[in-house]
Amino acid sequence: LEGVKDDKSKVKLTVSDDLSETKLETLKEDGTPVSTKTTSKDKSVTEEKFDDKGELTDKIITRANGTKLELTEITKEGKAKVKETLKHLTLEGTLADKKITLAVKEG
């Protein structure tokens, strides 16, 4: 299912063949991605935001149990700020060389 908004940007809704996943994409008039939101049958959600060039800048994964992994300020080199939110605990760190490093901070 696709549509065009007043500002000429496009919205596209896709449902997987096995009905386990829906994906909502917002694209610029030229097809460059602006954002995506993917919802799985297990109720987990992945949200992605892109810059003007279509490069991924932010990614938020919310799991079915409510815990959340946030990657922000993602660079072309694959580095990012990372925040893992568990039930009552938040861990912050970085992503580099495909490894997430989290630190427990007191206070």
Structural domain 2-103, CATH architecture:
Alpha-Beta Complex (3.90)
What are the structural domain ranges in the chain?
2-103
What is the DSSP code (8-state) at residue 61? E
End-to-end Cα, the chain, rounded Å: 49
The pTM for the full model equals 0.84
Of 24, 43, 44, the C-alpha closest to 35 is 24
pLDDT tens for each residue of 31-55: 999 999 999 999 999 999 999 999 9
pLDDT tens for each residue of 63-82: 999 899 999 999 999 899 99
Strands 90-96 and 80-85: antiparallel
- Tell me the percentage of the chain whose pLDDT exceeds 70: 97
Residue 43 CB neighbours (<10 A): 11
Q: In 3-state terms, what secondary structure has residue 55? A: coil
